[in-house]
Structure formats: C-alpha cells, structure tokens
A and B are shown apart, each in its own frame.
Chain A
C-alpha cells in the first residue's frame, strides 16, 4: 500500500485572503513576529501497491482535480506502508 499526502496552497503570487485574515488574528493575539500565513488543503490518499506509476497517477489527480494550477500549487509525499 502507498500512503500519499498532498498539500495544495495558493501560489506565492496569489493573495490568500483567508491566510491574511488568520494572520490578522495571530497579530491580535500578540504574536507580532509572525510574518506570513498561508492556508492550504491537505489530502491523504491510499493507493494499491499494484499501481506501477504512482507518481504519474498522483500528478494527474492533482493537476486535474485537487489543485487549480492557474492559482494553486501542490506538493506531495509518497510512502510505502504495510497494511
């Protein structure tokens, strides 16, 4: 079994209004050293070991569905795990 984690965030060049709102709250909590906060999405995907090209499958799923690559970017991590 493969355990895949995918992280999707807005590209650095795209304003993240939710992140900005949370940053404002963090500043009001008194943590002025916090310079930036970005909010993203996190996915856990389990894929059968039978899959030959796991990277390609994950990238296709990310490009077509999990991320809108016009404004978002993604990264992923693939681990082989025992069931």
Chain B
C-alpha cells in the first residue's frame, strides 16, 4: 500500500502526516505536490492540515483549483480512500466531496488543545480499529472548525450514519450537533477537524490517532484479499 500526502503552498502538517504513516504505521508514503497531475501508483490520499494558499478568500477555497485536486476528485469518485484533517477537511467540503462547510469558531479564537472525542461510527474503513462509542483524545488546532450544514443535510448525515466523530460534552468551536468528522455517503472520503496524525505515539501525549491509520491499512489489505 502506498499513501499520497498532498502538499499545497501553505500546508504545514504534511510532515506530521508523512511521519505518522511512514515512520509509525510503517507503510510506504510519498509527498505529492499541488501542481502534479497524477496519482498513479497510490492507494490512498491524505490531505494534511495547514493554511493552503494562505487561507486567502476562505479556508480551502483556492486549493480546489490546483492541478492535483482534479485528480483527487477523480480518485475519490473511483471509491478509493481519501482522508483530510483540519485544512484537509475544509478543502474536502470546498470541492464538494463532503457536504457542509466550515465557519469561524464561534468564539472567534484560534483553539489549540487536546480534545476528547467520541468515535460515533466504527463501521467505516477508517475506524474499524476503534471500539464502538470509544472516547479518544486528539489535538485540535484551528480557527475555522465550526462545522455547518443545513437541516436537510444534517438529517441525511444522520440517516446514512455519516457522522463519524463528535466532540464530547465540550464543543470547542460551535459545530452543528458537536460534529468533529464526517464521511461521504459512499464511505471512502473522511474529513475531520482534530489531528490523528499528531497523536500516534505516547511521546506526543496520545496514541489514539494511530488506530485511524491502522484501520485504513487493514481494510486496504482486506480488500486486496477479496
């Protein structure tokens, strides 16, 4: 299996993402620059956090028009796994691979802290290594993590079991229904505000993020054996 870590001008969690899968998970990974036009040879795409294109206009809005995103969209439409965290999540909503949008935190403050989350859905290829309802701790670091969608979309998210991670009792940014991460209807595109790649070894304060990458790897292997 080989992971692509997409790098935009302004990405700053790309090294963390790369280290999480390459060094800790132990699976092949390679950086792919925003101007590249192919994802040939890759089995999963990781969109890292940061400030793509300086967050000018809106978070994630300009990244949509980089060369590689047309290919990421095609990759996702083929049913292959795409995971975005923080700015990666914002980009996934901007390109329409995930419903909804991210607003400024309701406090207007940039929040950087450890955050408790509930794994609300363990039936996705990104979360099978977690226990149902498991409470985990991951770091958050964002100014625009306030997930928004209209009532109709929220109902669809609930009906299709697309809400994957929720904040426990303290919602840090005001997001609708405490949503921290959602998956697309097809189940191959996951976006979340917290950073699992920054919680992959005890030294970092939590290892709870590692199971997400382990799930991706195990489920990829399982698919291969089919």
Chain A residues near B64: list those with CB within 8 A.
65
Chain B residues near A58: list those with CB within 8 A.
none
A70 within 8 Å of B by Cβ? Answer: yes
Cα of A18 to Cα of B108 in the assembled complex, Å? 7
Binary flags per residue of A33-72, CB closer than 8 Å to B gives 1, else 0? 0000000010000000000000000000000011010110
Chain B residues near A1: list those with CB within 8 A.
none
Interface bracket on B: 20 to 34
Closest chain-A Cβ to B39's Cβ sits at a distance in Å of 23
Cα of A13 to Cα of B149 in the assembled complex, Å? 11
Choose from B62, B106, B146, B148 the contact partner of A70 (Cβ within 8 Å).
B148
Binary flags per residue of A66-80, CB closer than 8 Å to B gives 1, else 0? 101011000000000
Are the CB atoms of A70 and B101 closer together than 8 Å? yes
Binary flags per residue of B105-141, CB closer than 8 Å to A gives 1, else 0? 1111000000000000000000000000000000000
Are the CB atoms of B103 and A71 closer together than 8 Å? yes
Closest chain-B Cβ to A14's Cβ sits at a distance in Å of 6
Count A-side interface residues using an 8 Å CB cutoff.
13
Chain B residues near A13: list those with CB within 8 A.
150
Chain B residues near A71: list those with CB within 8 A.
101, 103, 148
Are the CB atoms of A17 and B104 closer together than 8 Å? yes
Are the CB atoms of A14 and B103 closer together than 8 Å? yes
Cα of A63 to Cα of B99 in the assembled complex, Å? 16
Choose from B57, B58, B94, B106 the contact partner of A15 (Cβ within 8 Å).
B106
Chain A residues near B100: list those with CB within 8 A.
70
Chain A residues near B104: list those with CB within 8 A.
17-18
Cα of A71 to Cα of B101 in the assembled complex, Å? 7
Chain A residues near B154: list those with CB within 8 A.
none
Closest chain-B Cβ to A35's Cβ sits at a distance in Å of 20
Closest chain-B Cβ to A58's Cβ sits at a distance in Å of 16
B19 within 8 Å of A by Cβ? Answer: no
Are the CB atoms of A70 and B93 closer together than 8 Å? yes
List 9 interface pairs A-B (beta carbons < 8 Å), by A numbering.
Answer: A14-B148, A15-B174, A17-B146, A18-B104, A65-B62, A68-B58, A68-B101, A70-B93, A70-B150
4 smallest A-B Cβ distances: which pairs? Answer: A70-B101, A71-B101, A17-B104, A68-B101
